[in-house]
Amino acid sequence: MKKQIKNFACPFCNKKIIDKLIVSAAAKINGRKAVHKLTSEEASHLAKLKWAKWRKERNG
């Protein structure tokens, strides 16, 4: 199966930190979930942002 490389923006801060999003060829843009792999740096970035968002909502 071929793999495509696409640019991906962070859903929280819109920084284009995730340059190499690996999407399976079977996954369609409108439809099935895309299977992608994040580097540890990108994963920690997303986790920090989610935690910050949760904390902000909880504390008001």
Q: Which residues pair with 5 in a beta bridge?
A: 22
**Per-residue confidence (pLDDT) for residue 38, from 0 to 100:** 58
Phi/psi at 18 (5° precision): -95, 95
**Per-residue confidence (pLDDT) for residue 48, from 0 to 100:** 76
Question: Residues 13, 53: contact at Cβ < 8 Å?
Answer: no
Residues near 34 by Cβ (< 8 Å), separated by ≥ 6? 21, 23, 24, 27
**Per-residue confidence (pLDDT) for residue 49, from 0 to 100:** 74
Q: Could you list the pLDDT tens digit for every one of the 60 residues in the chain?
A: 455 545 555 555 555 544 444 343 434 443 444 445 556 666 677 677 777 777 888 887
**Per-residue confidence (pLDDT) for residue 22, from 0 to 100:** 39
**Per-residue confidence (pLDDT) for residue 19, from 0 to 100:** 44
